[in-house]
A = this chain, B = another copy of it.
């Protein structure tokens, strides 16, 4: 009777999984949006119509939002449903990238195309490329091995990989290469940090004299920064993974220097903000590499051509 049962706002804490529908439900929603019919969507996903009906209904109950307008001649999204569907599409896209990446990780042998890539490229770029490759060559099995430049070179020279990707400053001996993209290192801080409000660009000297959250010495990222500053980078902390550096920066520990590729997500969600810098060469080439003489052919050539803008 009172507003006591009017849910005083469902727990905003606790596992996400309890408040976000599972992937199956989201895929179903996308199919309904595209086909305009519950039954049709059910057919496409290989389940029965009542299953689809019930699943959409329970998703609406879970979210507390009406998503589709049912009518005896089809179903259309509500306004809120359209918005929710667009957000869902992004979860599904991330899941597709995950899927294609994991598949490449698993199928180690008897693959038609064996790729070796540096961590940053494997993490941020390869899933997108593999999705594109699958779109035009659906039956190419791809295997992926991630490691640093040295490991990539070893695998190529031992004929354990057909195509490699590296991000270092130089190309390992015995390999030919082509620049496929450029990566920029950027300085970022949590939104609360003093530098987040700067409008004037940071000068090289200022950057060199401030303790920064950095990858460990020897990492590709650190090499580029040290080279750009003349070996002067002063670490506040040294961490051994990009993820750890990001986490430290987000928590406000200080300014960090990271690949632009690694922080796209955080920037657009404003968990981190970029600090303008000038007079420091923080770009590096991303290169495809292969054994000297063995120009990529077949699937390797297809993948290579996909990576060039």
Give A residues with C-beta under 8 Å from B. Answer: 9-10, 12, 14-17, 19-20, 22-24, 27, 34, 45-46, 63-65, 79-80, 82-99, 101-103, 105-107, 119, 122-123, 127-129, 131-132, 134-135, 138, 141, 146-147, 191, 241, 243, 247, 264-265, 268-271, 273, 306, 309
Contact = CB atoms under 8 A, between A and B. Distances in A.
Contacts of A23: 16-17, 20, 22-23
A63 B102 CA distance: 7
A90 B97 contact: yes
A308 to B, nearest CB: 10
A15 B95 contact: no
Contact of A98 (B91, B134, B268, B269): B91
29 contacts: A10-B103, A12-B103, A15-B24, A15-B27, A16-B23, A16-B27, A17-B22, A17-B24, A23-B23, A63-B102, A65-B106, A79-B146, A83-B119, A84-B101, A84-B105, A85-B243, A87-B97, A87-B123, A89-B243, A90-B97, A90-B98, A90-B265, A91-B94, A91-B98, A97-B269, A132-B191, A135-B271, A264-B268, A273-B309
Contacts of A34: 247
A71 B19 CA distance: 33
Contacts of A101: 83-84, 87
A190 B230 CA distance: 42
Contacts of A306: 191, 270
Contacts of A91: 91, 94-95, 98
Contacts of A88: 98
Contacts of A22: 17, 22-23
A60 B16 CA distance: 21
Nearest to A271: B132
Given A14-B46, A16-B92, 12 more contacts: A9-B107, A19-B103, A20-B23, A22-B22, A23-B23, A65-B106, A83-B105, A90-B98, A91-B98, A93-B265, A127-B269, A132-B270
A82 B101 CA distance: 12
Nearest to A87: B98
A97 B131 CA distance: 23
A14 to B, nearest CB: 7
A105 B243 CA distance: 31
